Amino acid sequence: MKNAIVLCSGGLDSVVAAYAVRKKYANLIFLFFDYGQRAIKEEEYCVKKIAKLLNAMFLKLNLKWLGDLSNTPINKIKKFKRTTDKNLENDDKDVLKWWVPCRNSVFLINALAFAESFYLNDKDKYEVIIGLKNEGRIFMKDTTERFVNKFNELIKEATFHGFYKVIAPLIKLDKTEVIALGKKLNVPFEFTYSCYVGSRFKGKIPIHCGRCLNCVLRKKGFYWSGVRDDSLYKE
């Protein structure tokens, strides 16, 4: 039975992806990145919480240099406008405000390096799981099925054996379908965190700002899925 490295940010999608594949692999490693994000405490708290529930190993990697390259509110304390339906109609312009340079590519290449090292050293095979979904009309270029396919083509040339694989188990599902699947798998939604900027905690539950792009998309997803949202929002 194979093993898996799960890129887990503590967000809704990566956590549902972990729950969706957990029975397919003998061992799970949650790979969490510290890239200087403002929501680091909330994200790490949720990843550790879910890792414990799924009996997965938690591994944290320092990529703070990536945050230094970023000029978005994800990494810098700066004002940003509340995301509204009108903002979402601007597509690329609003998405660009939250774009961290090459983020998913950097994450995947690091995970791939771990997967290859595990095989070269111990002959343990690991696949890489990433929680990308069908973003519909509003998407970032590194969240698509095309991106995953291109990255898998790169793996054939970037590794010695070339048989490693990146798998995006949710890539055909939209946000409402991901949430419905999460409910079916008994995902503790209150311990998932989507907010880009961080808003601390209320007791043991992390608080979302409710204003950033990811918070708005999260709230819409729960609303349209008809699933109860146990998350906490500042606004």
Among 155, 187, 175, 153, which Cα is nearest to 220's?
175
pLDDT on residue 135: 86
Q: What is the pLDDT of residues 164-187, one digit of tens each?
A: 999 999 999 999 999 999 999 999
| Beta carbons of 165 and 115 less than 8 angstroms apart | no
* Residues in the chain with pLDDT values less than 70: 85-93, 138
- Give 118's strand partners: none
- The three-point CA angle 51-40-16 to 5° equals 40
CATH class assigned to 3-233: alpha beta
Identify residue 93 by its one-letter amino acid code.
K
Sign of CA dihedral 193, 208, 200, 98: positive
| Beta carbons of 35 and 61 less than 8 angstroms apart | no
- Give 69's strand partners: none
pLDDT on residue 83: 76
pLDDT on residue 145: 96
Strands, DSSP E only, in 100-140?
A: 126-130
pLDDT on residue 88: 60
Half-sphere exposure of 101 (CA within 13 A, CB side): 9
166-167 and 201-202: which strand pairing? unpaired
Q: How far is 174 from 89, CA to CA, in rounded Å?
A: 18
pLDDT on residue 80: 84
Among 32, 106, 29, 74, which Cα is nearest to 215's?
74
Q: How far is 96 from 85, CA to CA, in rounded Å?
A: 16
> Where do the structural domains in the chain lie, given as residue ranges?
3-233
pLDDT on residue 87: 61
Burial 157-190 (b: 16+ CB within 10 A, else e): eebeeeebbbbbbbbebbbbbbbbbbeeeebebe
